[in-house]
Amino acid sequence: MEKINIRKLASILNISVATISKAMRDSHEISDATKKRVWDAARKYNYTPNPYASSLRRKKSKTIAVILPEVADNFFSLAINGIQAVAEAKGYHVLIYLTHESFELERTFVEDCCSGRVDGLLISITSETQTPDHIAKLQKENIPIVFFDREFEQITAPKVVTNDYDCGYQSAKLLVQRGCKNIRFLSISESLPICTKRAQGFLDAMAETVKNFGEEEAIYYCNGNNEQTRDHITKLLLSRPKVDGIVASVERLAIQVYLACQELKIKIPRNLRVIAFSTVETAPILNPSLSTVTQPAFDIGKSAAEILFTLMAGKDYGYHKKPVMIPSQIIERDSTK
């Protein structure tokens, strides 16, 4: 069958060329129904978008951007390695922007991406991010964007995540099985989906397991830099000496729990059992070895980058409706035994 071009396809569907182009880039301006019509017709008439069609309009930078909170965190370091593995194979450069959880920085970085400096963006949002306008603006410029790990629920865009709810649920169940009576879930944000989903899984497991479970004190928020986080945790452990189990929802919280316990001479796991969402390579050699929800950080980065390159080539990435979910693995070590 002969290939048709975008104009022909537009006339068949009786919509504009721009609408087809936006639909194929998964723009939020186009309805799901129209996207489906476009992709169905594209398949039917064997239409393959020219990957460089859009690059004729703007100069290709051969660069993608990654905006993320922090690199002093093994999860993000590994995710970057996954992203870079894909980008290098495609001959692209990766620019990394660190927000350090500042929404203001995130906003200016995203604006920076509008200027033609990059061809696509991978983003893991800050714990402060509450409004989507900066992201929506980038989508209007037809610059492909993919969320990884820390997504933004209100934005329609490809997302690569892990099974956060399930892992929160299973972490709580594990601590209960090991005899914990008074468990706290440590969180860094009331709005980040990774935190709220992990927390919801935790709360549901607790409500199922513990009679008259009170949610009020179950989630404990720790903010700030490492020292401030450690102070928060120390305060919790001193004021609530009956706490005998902790689920740390992000990597750096677990390390601060260990350091706080070392200072307070609280023995893990005898006095306090700990499990953490963490990919930290030192988990097996910590004292005691740390039970982890090990996230597929490299694969999350790799998968997000692959989707981004698919979008940048103007192709359908095949996951319009749901985020791509790559499951984590619970590895029990001495800290919960």
Q: Tell me the CA distances in angstroms from 187 to 116, 274, 303, one per residue in order.
A: 36, 14, 26
Is position 112 an interface residue for its own copies (rule: CB under 8 A)? yes
Shortest distance, CB of residue 195 to its own copies, whole angstroms?
Answer: 22
Instruction: Return d(Cα 274, Cα 336) in angstroms, integer.
Output: 6
Q: Does 53 bind its own copies (CB under 8 A)?
A: no
Least spacing, CB of residue 117 vs its own copies, in Å: 8
- Pick from 19, 21, 77, 328 the residue near its own copies by CB under 8 A: 77
The radius of gyration of the chain from alpha carbons, rounded to an integer in Å, stands at 23
Asked if 140 interacts with its own copies (CB under 8 A), we say: no
Quick check: 55 and 233 in contact, CB under 8 A?
Answer: no
Closer to its own copies by Cβ: residue 172 or 233: 233
Using DSSP bridges, classify how beta strands 120-123 and 93-98 pair: parallel, antiparallel or unpaired: unpaired
Which CA distances in Å does 179 have to 16, 114, 238, 273?
Answer: 63, 53, 21, 9
Instruction: Please say whether the beta carbons of 307 and 147 come within 8 A.
Output: no
Of the pair 25, 230, the CB lying nearest its own copies is at 230
17, 259, 264, 331: residue in contact with its own copies (rule CB under 8 A) = 259
Task: Kindly state the tokens that stand for 112.
Answer: 């920076």
Tell which one of 11, 36, 50, 88 touches its own copies (CB under 8 A).
Answer: 88
H/E segment holding residue 160 = strand 159-161
78 binds its own copies (CB under 8 A): yes
Query: Which one of 28-36, 45-53, 77-85, 235-243 is the stretch in contact with its own copies (CB under 8 A)?
Result: 77-85
Q: Which residues contact 179 (CB under 8 A, 6 or more apart)?
A: 244
Kindly tell me which residue out of 17, 41, 96, 325 binds its own copies, with binding defined by CB under 8 A: 96
- Contact residues for its own copies, defined by CB under 8 A: 70-72, 74, 76-78, 80-81, 84, 88, 93-98, 100, 105, 108-109, 112, 117, 226, 255, 258-259, 262, 280-282, 284-289
